Amino acid sequence: MTASMTPERLSTLIGVLAAILATLPRYWFGAVDQGRLSLILIAFAVVAIVAGVAWRLLTQPARKRLPGLLARLSLNLVLGCLLVAIWQWFERGRVVPLLLLSHGATFGLLIHALTVGWRRGGDDR
């Protein structure tokens, strides 16, 4: 069983990179464990390398589908931040920007991964 690289997988990898970047301010400004910050930066580098290899493995028609998927990813990241802001407002009565950024990006990535998986259906199997 071999799995080929798809633009949906690459867009999800790019979403993981965006979620990691959105988490970094919590560690820079939050005075949280610097060891974790180092591990997060290493994880970012590894995922970036994998995304670069994934890009190289895409066929030309698959590369042409990627901009549309990245636009959907961007919209899902914004939607995730909006939903987390609403949640924080009702839960705490205020919005915490650093948590909003990291949790919103993660939630947006989750929305993106789920919708991409549903749209593809059983094509991978």
Mean pLDDT to the nearest integer, 65-80? 96
Residues 31 and 14: their CA atoms lie apart, in Å, by: 27
Contact between 106 and 80 under an 8 Å Cβ cutoff? The reply is yes
Amino acid letter, 11: S
Instruction: With cut-offs at 50, 70 and 90, classify the pLDDT of residue 122.
Output: low
Q: Which three-class secondary structure state does DSSP give residue 33? A: coil
Q: What is the reported pTM? A: 0.86
Q: Which residues contact 103 (CB under 8 A, 6 or more apart)?
A: 80, 84
| Of 33-42, 50-59, 78-87, the least confident | 33-42
